[in-house]
């Protein structure tokens, strides 16, 4: 059984493949939306469960009042686009009978720093924040 952690993002989403039998990551990458769909199509549907970061379901406002109106609008727009990527993935999973769960992200302590992430997981390759956030969703399942 493989678990796929996804941190949806408008530009490149974090995408991590965790092998439960091997207890290790098979892949941690950042993918554009259609690259991610291509990857998903290649997976064995019966032996794969997707774990989506639930941040897109947050009830918090997309408005960032501490910024100028223009900056606040741009941030809110980007957050909305990220939310749409997550919604499209859920529609795709439902339409194609994929197994998935939506979970709250783990502590930021392990995703903010590449060094902390490597210490926790033993994963050696370089990662960005989106990749780490996807990976931490499935690590150790």
The 10s digit of each residue's pLDDT in 13-24 is: 999 999 999 999
The 10s digit of each residue's pLDDT in 48-104 is: 999 998 876 655 554 455 666 555 555 554 555 678 999 999 999 999 999 999 998
Q: Locate 137 and state its tokens.
A: 């969703």
Q: How far is C-alpha 111 from the geometric centre of its chain's CA atoms?
A: 12
| Contacts (Cβ under 8 Å, ≥6 apart) of 20 | 1, 2, 3, 141
pLDDT at 7 over 90: yes
pTM, full prediction? 0.84
Domains and CATH numbers, the chain: 2-138 (3.30.420.10)
| Beta strand 48-53 pairing with 2-7 | parallel
Distances (CA, A) of 120 to 116, 123, 133, 134, 140: 6, 8, 13, 14, 10
């Amino acid at each position: 059984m493989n678990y796929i952690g996804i941190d949806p993002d408008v530009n490149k989403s974090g995408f991590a493949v965790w092998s439960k039998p091997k207890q290790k990551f098979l892949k941690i990458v950042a993918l554009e939306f259609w690259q991610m769909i291509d990857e998903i199509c290649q997976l064995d549907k019966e032996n794969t469960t997707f774990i989506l970061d639930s941040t897109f379901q947050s009830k918090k406002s997309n408005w960032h009042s501490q910024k100028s109106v223009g900056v606040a609008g741009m941030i809110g727009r980007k957050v909305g686009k990220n939310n749409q990527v997550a919604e499209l993935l859920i529609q795709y999973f439902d339409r194609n009978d994929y197994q998935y769960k939506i979970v709250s992200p783990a502590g930021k302590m392990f995703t903010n720093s590449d060094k902390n992430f490597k210490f926790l997981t033993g994963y050696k390759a370089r990662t960005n924040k989106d990749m780490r956030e996807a990976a931490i969703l499935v690590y150790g399942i």
